[in-house]
Structure 1
Amino acid sequence: MTAVEPPTAGIVAPDGINGFYEPVPEDNVPRLRRSAGTAGIASAELMDRHDHIAAVRAGRVGSMHSWELVTAVDGPGTRLTVFLAGCPLRCLYCHNPDTLKMKDGEPIAVEDLLVRVKRYLPIFKATRGGLTVSGGEPLMQPAFLGRLLRGAKEMGVHTTIDTSGFLGAYASEALLDDIDLVLLDIKSGDPETYRRTTGRDLQPTLDFSRRLADRGMPIWIRYVLVPGLTDDVDNVEAVADHVASLSTVARVEVLPFHNMGRDKWERLGMTYELADTPAPTAELVERVRGQFRQRGLTVY
C-alpha cells in the first residue's frame, strides 16, 4: 500500500450532508436530503479528557457530524447514513465546510450509534438497505469506523463507506472485510486538476481503487462535474480509462455541480472560489456520461 500523509486538522470535507439536492439514480429526480444532526444518539462528551483520548484511540468514541435516513442515494435500499467529522481534502466545491474539523463534531460512543443502527433493522430488511458511513472522510477515524462496521456486520447489516480514497492506506484488511460496497469519489483523472480541486495528490485514490478491485470489492464511482474545473475532455477520459480498468465497478454516478453550499463558506469567513461557476448544462452532463458509457460502464 502507498503511504499517505497524516490527516491535517482544519481542512475542508468533500461532500454535502444536510439540505442539498443530489440525483437519485433510479429515476434521476433530485431529492432534498435532510439531516437529523446527532439527535437521538447519546453523546460521549461527559468523559474527562484522559478517558476521552483513550476512547478515541481505541475507536470506542468518534467525532460525528450528523445522521440521516435516506433512500436510493448512498447505496442500495434505505440507508442510515452517518456523517463523521473531519477530512484531509480541501475540495473547492465542498457543500459543508462545517464538517472540516474533527473537533467540531459531536463525540459519539460506538455502542450508542449501533443502537440507532439496530432500530432500523426491519427497514433495512424490507428495502435491502443498510448502513453507509460518509463524512467528511470516514477513513479519518479508522479505529472508530472499524468498530462501527464490525458491530453492524454482526447484526447482518449491509455496509457501505463513501470515501475519496485518499486515506485508503489507513484501511486495514480487517476493516475492508466488513465493507460490502465502496462509494469512491474520483474527483479528477489529471493530477494537476486533482490538486487544484482538492489540495491533495491523486495517486493514493488510484492505488486504493486498485486494491479494492483486486480483492473483488464492489465499487460505485462518483464524479462531480464542475464546469471549468473537472469538465475537460482529456481529464474525463483519464478518469473513464482508469475506472474501466477496475473489474468490480458496478456503476458510475456523474453528479452535476451546484453552489448551494456557498452561504456556509461565507458564514465561516471562507472564500468560495466557485461562486460564479454555473451548473453544467444538460448537454455537458450527457457528454461526460457518454464518455463513461463508451467504455461499457453503467452510468447515471
Structure 2
Amino acid sequence: MADEPWANSRYALRLSQSPDAPETAEFNDPRGDVGWIHSYETGSTVDGPGIRVTVFMSGCLLRCLYCHNPDTWHLKDGTRVSFERAEQALTSYAAALRAMDGGLTISGGEPLVQMHFTKRLFASAKRMGVHTALDTSGFLGARADDDYLRLVDLVLLDIKSWDPATYRRAVGQDLRPTLEFAERLANLGKPVWVRFVLVPGLTDDPANVEGIARFVAPMSNVEWVEVLPFHQMGSFKWKAAGLDYELLDTPSPSPDLVARVLGQFRDAGCRAR
C-alpha cells in the first residue's frame, strides 16, 4: 500500500484513513518500517523548547474523558507512512530546527504504541543534531528501554491525576505505571516537563493537585510543571466519531482556579507555569 497524504494540523479530523491497519492493543512491529500518523505540525512553540516539528502518532490505550483528539485512539484512523518518508520529511526541517533551538517532538495518541517506528525517528533526529522530546502519558513507559530513552532529550510527561480512582475515571487505566515511569526518569536524571490537565469537577480537587505536587517537587530532573486548562476544542470530534462526550457542559477553568492550582504547585517547590 502506498503512503497517503498526511494531515498537517493536530485539529484535523482523521477517521478510517487506514481501515486495514492492525488493532492498536495488539500492535507490535519490531522493524518499525511503517508508522500510522495522525498529523504533523511545523512551527510549534508549545511542545518543548524552541520552534518544533511535532508528529502526532496514532494509537492509544487510554480513553481520557477530555481527550481533544479521540481520532488518535486507533491505528486505523491514522495515515500509513513509511519510515523513509517520515525521515525524509524530518531531514528537510533539520537545519531550520537547529537554527531555531527547536527540535522534534513525537506525541499522539501515545508514541510508545509504535515504539520501534518512533525509536527509529528519534535516532534519525539525533544523527541530524536535532533535539528530541517524547510526549507521553507514561502508561506504556516500561516499553521504553534505556536505549530508547538515550535518544530522548526531554520527556513531556502527562500526570493526569494523583488519586487512583480519579485517574481511572478520567482515563480508564491504572495510575501506577505512570508513577513508576516518572520515578525511573528521575533516577536516570532525564529532563522532564510534567503536564497536568486541569478539568473543573474532575481533576481540580485540592488534595488531587497536592498529591501530584508533593510527588514531583523532590525530583530535580523535573524542569517545569505545566498546568493545561481544559477546553472544548475537540468536542466536535467526539460527535463526528459517534462517541458519548461526557464533558460537553464542563467549562474551562476560571482564572482563579488556574491561579490556585499554580499556587499549589509553586508552594510545594515546583517551577510551574
TM-score by length of structure 2 reads 0.90
Task: State the Cα deviation string for residues 162-186 of structure 1 (Å, max 9, x = none).
Answer: 0000000110111001000000000
Question: What letter corresponds to residue 266 of structure 2 in structure 1?
Answer: R
Task: Give the unaligned 5+ runs of structure 2.
Answer: 1-8, 23-27
Alignment match, 1:297:
270
Query: Aligned ranges for residues 1-300 of structure 1 at < 5 Å?
Result: 18-19=10-11, 56-300=29-273
Aligned equivalents of 2:218, 2:247: Cα separation in 1: 32
Is the 8 Å Cα contact of residues 225 and 256 (structure 1) preserved in structure 2? yes
The SS at the match of 2:268 is coil
Following TM superposition, by how much is the alpha carbon of 1:263 offset from its aligned partner in structure 2, in angstroms?
1.2
Aligned equivalents of 2:109, 2:35: Cα separation in 1: 13
Aligned equivalents of 1:36, 1:154: Cα separation in 2: 33
Is the 8 Å Cα contact of residues 36 and 67 (structure 1) preserved in structure 2? no
Task: State the Cα deviation string for residues 103-158 of structure 1 (Å, max 9, x = none).
Answer: 22111111211111111122212211010000000000111111111111111111
Alignment size in residue pairs: 257
Is the 8 Å Cα contact of residues 10 and 40 (structure 2) preserved in structure 1? no
Following TM superposition, by how much is the alpha carbon of 1:56 offset from its aligned partner in structure 2, in angstroms?
3.9
Task: State the Cα deviation string for residues 252-297 of structure 1 (Å, max 9, x = none).
Answer: 1101101121111111111000011111100000000000001222
Aligned equivalents of 2:29, 2:52: Cα separation in 1: 25
Task: State the Cα deviation string for residues 18-57 of structure 1 (Å, max 9, x = none).
Answer: 24xxxxxxxxxxxxxxx698xxxxx9x8xxx9xxxxx944
RMSD: 2.1
Is the 8 Å Cα contact of residues 10 and 56 (structure 2) preserved in structure 1? no
The SS at the match of 2:196 is strand
Aligned equivalents of 2:141, 2:94: Cα separation in 1: 29
Aligned equivalents of 1:210, 1:162: Cα separation in 2: 16
- Runs of 4+ in structure 1 off by over 6 angstroms are none
TM-score by length of structure 1 reads 0.82
Aligned equivalents of 2:13, 2:237: Cα separation in 1: 18
Is the 8 Å Cα contact of residues 191 and 221 (structure 2) preserved in structure 1? yes
For residues 260 and 36 of structure 1, do their structure 2 counterparts lie closer, same or farther at Cα, with a shift above 3 Å needed?
closer
